Structure 1
Amino acid sequence: MNAETMMGTELQGLRRRRPEVTGTVLAGTDGLLISSDLPLTDATYLAALAAASYGVGNRMAATVRQGPFHESVVHTGAGCVITYPAGGDALLTLVAAPGADLVALREEALAMVHRAGPALAACRRSTPLTPLQTDPHTPLAVRTPMSTLPGQRTRRDPHITWRRPPI
């Protein structure tokens, strides 16, 4: 059984055990969907929003220097959405109904996160990554208008007379 199938089974089991959970999504920190059990909303959108929420929460935690990011909770008029990091590169997002026992839900979600993190990390380690090119004289694979080759100077247009104001 692969990690995605295993996590899909875990997500469905969580919803069966906790009736106040109306949906679950497991996504990468890059916002790509891994697995979901979310009946009412498009899971790909929630995966992307969870990654954005994680990015903002992680930046806030780093700014205030009070330890690493643990969870993000968004309270709405009809419940709440909670996002937990699952390992180094995954996120577990739960959609809960109003009146949910968030303390008990947190304990169960963290137990699932501790199971999910190593399984997903092992799955990602098994896929080989392409090595980066280290030779500076190798041509660029994709050229954009702003890219230059090593040793090439950029030229200023003599007709441009304005300068960017200092920041």
Structure 2
Amino acid sequence: MNTDAALLAELHRLRRTVPEISGAVLAAVDGLLVASDLSGADPHHIAALSAAGLGIGDRFAHLVGHGPLRESVIRGAEGCVVVYPAGEDAILTAVVPPETDLTRLHAEARPAAQRLGALWAAVRQPSVATAIPPTTDPDAPLATRTPMAALPAGLWSETGGWRSPGRQ
């Protein structure tokens, strides 16, 4: 089974275990989407907001001396969004209705987040093409990398700025 299939299988397993979950998203800590089992909302936006929310929640927890963040719960009139750290490099987000038993959700989602984080960490290797080689000269200038170097070809137009992949 490839990693993408394993990540999706774990998200599906979580939804089977806690049927109240209406959607789940796995994101990298930088807010990029890794895997999604979510309908009705843009998973890319959920991933980005999850990273921002988790970062803020973690800062709050440390600032008041409560240690590392276990989860962040956002309650809305129509339900909750619960964000869990998934290892060092990922974030699990679960979308649930308001009547969901959060204690049961936490009991199932925390271990799932750790499994997802371990799966993601296992495949998250730096690319040889994008790695900056170390230098032994401490006075050497830093390597220059621009954000454009990391974008897929064709997303930036020299005359018109950003171009969506579907627009020519």
3-state DSSP of counterpart to 1:49: helix
Whole-angstrom CA distance in 1 between matches of 2:24 and 2:141? 45
Gaps of 5+ in 1: 144-167
Q: Distance in 1 between matches of 2:127 and 2:84?
A: 24
Query: Aligned in 2, Cα 1:68/1:133: closer, same or farther, shift over 3 Å?
Result: same
Letter in 2 for 1:99: E
Residue 2 of structure 1, CA deviation: 2.7
Q: What secondary structure is seen at the aligned counterpart in 1 of 2:124? A: helix
Query: Match for residue 131 of structure 1?
Result: 132
- In structure 2, how many angstroms separate the alpha carbons of the residues matched to 1:74 and 1:139? 41
CA contact (8 A) 2:70 2:84 kept: yes
Name the aligned partner's letter for residue 102 of structure 1. L
Structure 1: distance between partners of 2:30 and 2:23 = 20
How many equivalent pairs are there? 143
Tell me the equivalent position of 1:2: 2
Q: Deviations over 1:24-80 (max 9, x none)?
A: 000011000000011110000000000000110111122112211111000000110
Stretch moving more, 85-94 or 125-134: 125-134
2:41 matched residue in structure 1: 41
Deviation of 1:11 after TM superposition, in Å, equals 1.0
Give the TM-score normalised by the residue count of structure 1.
0.77
Partner residue, 2:56: 56
TM-score, normalised to structure 2, is 0.77
- In the other structure, the counterpart of 2:110 is 110
Cα distance change of structure 1 residues 56 and 132 upon mapping to structure 2, 3 Å threshold: farther
Deviation at 1:142, TM superposition (A): 5.1
Label 1:10 to 1:142 Cα distance change in 2 as closer, same or farther (>3 A). Answer: closer
- Residue 91 of structure 1 is matched in structure 2 by 91
Structure 2 residue aligned with 1:120: 120
- In the TM superposition, what is the alpha-carbon distance from 1:19 to its structure 2 partner? 2.0
Q: In structure 2, what is the Cα distance between the partners aligned to 1:140 and 1:87?
A: 30
- Larger Rg over CA atoms: 1
Identity across the alignment (%): 43
Cα distance in 2 for partners of 1:124, 1:140 equals: 23
Partner of 1:22: 22
Of residues 125, 144, 148, the one that matches 1:141 is 144
Q: Equivalent residue for 2:32?
A: 32
For structure 2, the residue ranges without an aligned partner over 5 or more in a row are 147-168
